[in-house]
Every structure is written in structure tokens, then in C-alpha cells.
């Protein structure tokens, strides 16, 4: 691929695909001001996941965990989709992308207008009760920390997947189905180290599909992808839309 322009090459693959999907991680939201997990400025550089993002941490100190989530919820509520989210939605509208599978919990793909979205790691803008079946969306940071269930008084928790927890069954199955159908996956802004999510793009390769890897840094898919786009998500998707004649974002 080397000398060919990765954007031109990605556009060619997308145009000739039958069923293209997009697989995203924290990097797609970096340009919306939401910190990633690994790498410089990453959350796991400043915080220990085992203190904040495990069921044990929550049992030990729900207030500490909730304070951290309250900070992140505020950040997500203040963030907006960036050109990458908007372009991905535009590509779905144009029929060139069939599904978005994301590891992100920020809801920005849906907000940007993507409709077939699989959220593998839940949503930071939802809470659920640790005792009963109560679930609710969050429009603001909870005023009481830790928040309590209005139905049974139990502790509410963020409706996200923590380390050591299984992924939501329905979402994981949808992701497998989408990857099973796909002949092209555009992987955007993920290090590719958290399983089982990170294996989903590999399903596409395993049945002969192609991969475009969009990331300013090398990652787990470097060397496996047909096209390496060593640039930020917003830059790649802006160039891609222009190349496809789909206008600006």
C-alpha cells in the first residue's frame, strides 16, 4: 500500500464494499475534548483502573467511584460530536457504512446522527440500580453522590462495563453479527488491547474482508490492516468525505 494515499485507497475500498462497518475507540472522541485511556494524557496514566473501574472498587468505595464518574459525565455532557462522528453519520446516511460498533460510552455517535450503533461498553449517560431492575438516562450530573434508586433505595451505578464484567450479551451478539456480514471495517482511534471488543475487527479479516486503520500512532492492527491512515480521526474523515464528493463536515 505504502506509496498510495491512504485516504484515496480507503475511499476506493469503501466504494467497492458491499457491507462496511466502523469500529471506534476513545481516539474518535479525543477531538471532542474527551481524554483517551492510554497514551499521553490518558486516564489510565493518571488513575488506576482497579481503584475506579471494577465492581470491587465500587463495593469498597462507591462515593470515590461516583466522584470520578461525575467528573467524566460532566465532561461528556459538555462535549459535542466532532467532524469524525459527523462524517461517520453522513456515510451511513449515504448508504456507504452500515453499522458503527463503539467501545465508547459517550453517546457521541448517536448524537451525531448514526443510527445503527452498537455500544459494547454501555453508556456513561445511563444509570442502573444495583438491587432492582431500575434503569434511567442522565441529563445532568447526579446531585446526590452516590445516587440512590428512586424505586427501592438501592445504590445506583453507571451503566457501563467495568473490568472483570461481561459485555452486554445483546450488544456483543449484534457486534458479532455485523462483523460477520462486513467485507470492510474502518477501525478508528483504538489501541485494540481490551478484549473481547478488540477481536471484533479481526472477524472481518478472518473471512477475507479488508481493514482500514485510522490512528496517529501504531496499534494492535498495524501490520494487519490493508490501509494505515496515520492521522487523527477528524482529519481522515474530513478528507475521506471530500474524496467521496460528500461535502464538508
**DSSP tag of 168:** P
CB of 123 to ligand OAD, least distance (A): 11
142 vs 216 by CB, closer to ligand OAD: 216
Kindly tell me which of 36 and 210 has the beta carbon lying closer to ligand OAD: 36
Rounded least distance, CB 230 to ligand OAD, Å: 10
d(CA 107, CA 126): 10
Give 227's contacts (C-beta < 8 A, 6+ positions apart). 1, 6, 9, 10, 13, 210, 211, 212, 213
Give the span between the Cα atoms of 69 and 160, in whole angstroms: 10
* Residues of the shown chain interacting with ligand OAD in the complex, contacts defined by CB under 6 A: 25-27, 30-31, 36-39, 42, 103, 121, 160-161, 189-191, 194, 214-217, 219, 232-233
CB 174 within 8 Å of CB 10: no
Marked catalytic residue, from 85, 109, 121, 207? 121
**Cell triple for 44:** 489510565
Query: How near is the Cβ of 120 to ligand OAD at its closest, in Å?
Result: 8
Shortest Cβ 166–ligand OAD spacing (Å)? 11
Residue 64 C-beta: closest distance to ligand OAD, Å: 17
Q: Choose among 150, 202, 194: nearest CA to 175.
A: 202
Q: Are 209 and 181 in contact (CB under 8 A)?
A: no
Q: Is position 121 annotated as part of the catalytic site?
A: yes
**All three cell numbers of 144:** 446526590
Whole-angstrom Cα distance, residue 88 to residue 99? 9
Q: Please identify, using beta-carbon distances, which residue of 20 and 167 lies nearer to ligand OAD.
A: 167
Nearer residue to ligand OAD within complex by CB, 18 or 67: 67
Residue whose CB is less far from ligand OAD, 35 or 62 = 35
DSSP three-state, residue 20? strand
Answer yes or no: are the C-beta atoms of 126 and 162 closer than 8 Å.
no
- List residues with catalytic annotation: 121
Amino acid at each position: 500500500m505504502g506509496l498510495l494515499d491512504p485516504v484515496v485507497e480507503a475511499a476506493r475500498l469503501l466504494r467497492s464494499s458491499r457491507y462496511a462497518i466502523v469500529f471506534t475507540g476513545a481516539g474518535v472522541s479525543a477531538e471532542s475534548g474527551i481524554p483517551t485511556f492510554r497514551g499521553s494524557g490518558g486516564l489510565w496514566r493518571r488513575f488506576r483502573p482497579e481503584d475506579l473501574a471494577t465492581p470491587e472498587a465500587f463495593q469498597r468505595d462507591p462515593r470515590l467511584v461516583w466522584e470520578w464518574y461525575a467528573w467524566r459525565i460532566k465532561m461528556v455532557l459538555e462535549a459535542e460530536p466532532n467532524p469524525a462522528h459527523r462524517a461517520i453519520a453522513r456515510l451511513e446516511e449515504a448508504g456507504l457504512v452500515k453499522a458503527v460498533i463503539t467501545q465508547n460510552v459517550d453517546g457521541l455517535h448517536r448524537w451525531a446522527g448514526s443510527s445503527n450503533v452498537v455500544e459494547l461498553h454501555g453508556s456513561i449517560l445511563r444509570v442502573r440500580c444495583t438491587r432492582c431492575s431500575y434503569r434511567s438516562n442522565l441529563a445532568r450530573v447526579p446531585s446526590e453522590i452516590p445516587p440512590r434508586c428512586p424505586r427501592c433505595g438501592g445504590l445506583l451505578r453507571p451503566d457501563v462495563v467495568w473490568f472483570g464484567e461481561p459485555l452486554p450479551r445483546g450488544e456483543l451478539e449484534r457486534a458479532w453479527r455485523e462483523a460477520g456480514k462486513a467485507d470492510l471495517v474502518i477501525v478508528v482511534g483504538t489501541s485494540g488491547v481490551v478484549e473481547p471488543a478488540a477481536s471484533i475487527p479481526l472477524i472481518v479479516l478472518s473471512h477475507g474482508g479488508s481493514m482500514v486503520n485510522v490512528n496517529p500512532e501504531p496499534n494492535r492492527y498495524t501490520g494487519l490492516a490493508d490501509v494505515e491512515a496515520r492521522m487523527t480521526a477528524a482529519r481522515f474523515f474530513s478528507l475521506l468525505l471530500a474524496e467521496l464528493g460528500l461535502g464538508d463536515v
